[in-house]
Amino acid sequence: MGRKVFLLLLALVMPLADASDLAREQRLAAEIEETILVGEGLRLQAGGVEFFAIHALAETDAVRGGVILLHGRGAHPDWPDVIHPLRSQLPAGGWETLSIQLPVAAVDAPDHAYRELIPEAGPRIQAAVDFFRQRKLDRLVLVAHSLGSRMAVDYLAGGGPPEVKALVAIGLPVAGREGGYAALEKLTLPLLDLYGSRDIAPVLHGVKARAEAARKAGNRDYLQFEVPGADHFFRGLEQELVSRVQGWIRKAGAAMAAR
């Protein structure tokens, strides 16, 4: 067997080093599935991969729409910081929520491994959109945190589906050399860029650049808001976070209904 043929066969049988750690995803799902108090765990499919999600029904007679929640780096669909407060409290405002498991790298993976997982998130977000399509909900909002926000921006920059009407990006870290700002320059849908005054450096250092990217996009529905005293995880300010997000998507929802 020639060397080139051998290397090709080796590449086909060896797993990709930076692919999502599916075993870790399964462990995360097993850890939280039996502890869910609001909503119900389920499995979705994307690209031949089964992944975990949590769906919660709206607690009002009139349903405003659906919210797809995207967690941050190495987290899960019921992560106690940011994700759980939002996914469990937004239903009281008339929103169905679907929090999905995004691709995760191994525990000891380097930073670049997570950047290389960003394209894998798109099919999973699309599967969440399809889930709501089946439920006849056509007014959807993406609410994402940290790396999940970056995944959401990249997904929408590629031409998001018409059902997704708005994006809430919480603690969005992007870097120009990674194409993050270029992706923001393609978004014209309503976008809330929410972060804390004590956020992590990659978020705080990009405040002006994110606003400039939205200006270049001609996005008149872009709002950047800093929450005083909040860190990257809004610890101790969970109700402030929920109030800010819920108030903004209520306004966005009214705009959706008018379109």
Nearest to 154 by CA among 132, 128, 182: 182
Report the predicted TM-score, pTM, of the whole model to 2 decimal places.
Answer: 0.90
pLDDT at 114: 84
Q: Which of 1-5, 27-31, 223-227 has the highest mean pLDDT?
A: 223-227
Task: List the alpha helices (DSSP H) in 147-237.
Answer: 147-157, 180-184, 201-204, 207-217
- Over the stretch 122-138, which tens digit does the pLDDT of each residue have? 999 999 999 999 999 99
Type of residue at 47: G
The share of the chain scoring above pLDDT 90, in percent, equals: 79
CB 20 within 8 A of CB 103: yes
Q: Which pLDDT does position 259 carry in this prediction?
A: 53
- Sketch the domain layout of the chain as residue ranges: 16-258
CB 148 within 8 A of CB 169: no
**CATH entry, 16-258, from 3.10.150.10, 3.30.450.40, 1.20.210.10, 3.40.50.1820:** 3.40.50.1820
CA distances from 126 to 92, 104, 156, 195 (A): 25, 17, 10, 25
241: nearest Cα among 87, 10, 30, 65: 87
* pLDDT tens track for 136-174: 999 999 999 999 999 999 999 988 899 999 999 999 998
Strands 95-100, 49-56: pairing kind: antiparallel
Confidence of residue 121 (pLDDT cuts 50, 70, 90): very high
Under 8 Å between Cβ of 122 and 158: yes
Both structure tokens of 115: 């950047």
Rounded to whole angstroms, the Cα distance separating 66 from 58 reads 9
The pLDDT mean for the chain works out to 90
